[in-house]
């Protein structure tokens, strides 16, 4: 299992490719369905209530149709891409923030931000360009949808963490 504390270059490539492919697809075809690779656990029934509750817009970006289960995209070209059913992150030293009752692991990846819910199974991953919208806007807009997946644990500060072993 991949450690969320150090995303491999192999994982960074698909992020850029995903957003780039969506941009090329939308440029070539106008407003249409966004191609998004489904997450490994996209068929988890717990994703369904979250997906039904997705917002119609994130900031100035309208919700778009996607071609994979448990995915969503906003903007033209796709500025925000969401996948439900990604691997659940374990304990990490990555930045973890709580916004309106949802904990998110935040990763800065070159041109994009990657947010992954923490303490919810299945996990939800959101990729978005740094210039498209703010992380606060994304986390706030998605909070009520993501809350449809019950929280089993939450972020803690290093001072509050219980040593293992």
Q: Which of 135, 114, 89 is nearest to 19 (CA)?
A: 114
Domain total in the chain: 1
* pLDDT value of residue 133: 87
Query: Taking a C-beta distance cutoff of 8 angstroms, is the pair 16, 24 a contact?
Result: no
Q: Does residue 22 sit within a domain?
A: yes
Could you give the 3-state DSSP secondary structure of residue 81? strand
Q: Does residue 137 sit within a domain?
A: yes
* pLDDT value of residue 164: 58
For the chain, 165 residues long, the average pLDDT of each consecutive 10-residue run is 38 40 38 92 98 97 97 95 97 92 94 96 96 91 97 80 58
Cis before 42 (ω within 30): no
How far are the Cα atoms of 89, 111, 155 from residue 19, in angstroms, in the given order?
22, 10, 28
* pLDDT value of residue 79: 94
Domain that includes residue 78, residue range:
9-151
Q: Does residue 165 sit within a domain?
A: no
Q: Does residue 162 sit within a domain?
A: no
Task: Show the tokens assigned to 16.
Answer: 């850029």
Q: Does residue 136 sit within a domain?
A: yes
- C-alpha gyration radius of the chain: 15
- How far is it, in rounded angstroms, from Cα 20 to Cα 118? 26
State the burial class of residue 137 (Cβ atoms within 10 Å of its Cβ: 0-12, 13-18, 19+).
Answer: middle
Q: Does residue 26 sit within a domain?
A: yes
Task: Show the tokens assigned to 132.
Answer: 């498209």
* pLDDT value of residue 67: 97
Q: Does residue 3 sit within a domain?
A: no
Q: Does residue 156 sit within a domain?
A: no
Q: What is the pLDDT of residues 10-47, one digit of tens each?
A: 433 443 334 443 333 333 344 689 999 999 999 999 99
């Amino acid at each position: 299992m991949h450690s969320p504390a150090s995303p491999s270059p192999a994982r960074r490539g698909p992020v850029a490719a995903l957003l780039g492919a969506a941009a090329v697809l939308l440029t070539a075809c106008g407003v249409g369905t966004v191609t998004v690779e489904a997450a490994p656990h996209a068929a988890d029934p717990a994703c369904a209530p979250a997906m039904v509750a997705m917002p119609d817009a994130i900031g100035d970006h309208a919700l778009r149709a996607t071609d994979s289960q448990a995915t969503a995209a906003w903007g033209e070209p796709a500025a925000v891409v969401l996948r439900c059913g990604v691997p659940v992150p374990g304990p990490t030293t990555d930045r973890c923030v709580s916004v309106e009752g949802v904990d998110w692991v935040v990763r800065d990846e070159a041109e994009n931000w990657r947010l992954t819910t923490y303490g919810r199974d299945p996990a939800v991953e959101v990729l978005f360009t740094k210039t498209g919208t703010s992380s606060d806007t994304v986390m706030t807009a998605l909070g009520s949808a993501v809350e449809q997946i019950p929280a089993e644990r939450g972020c803690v500060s290093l001072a509050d963490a219980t040593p293992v072993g």
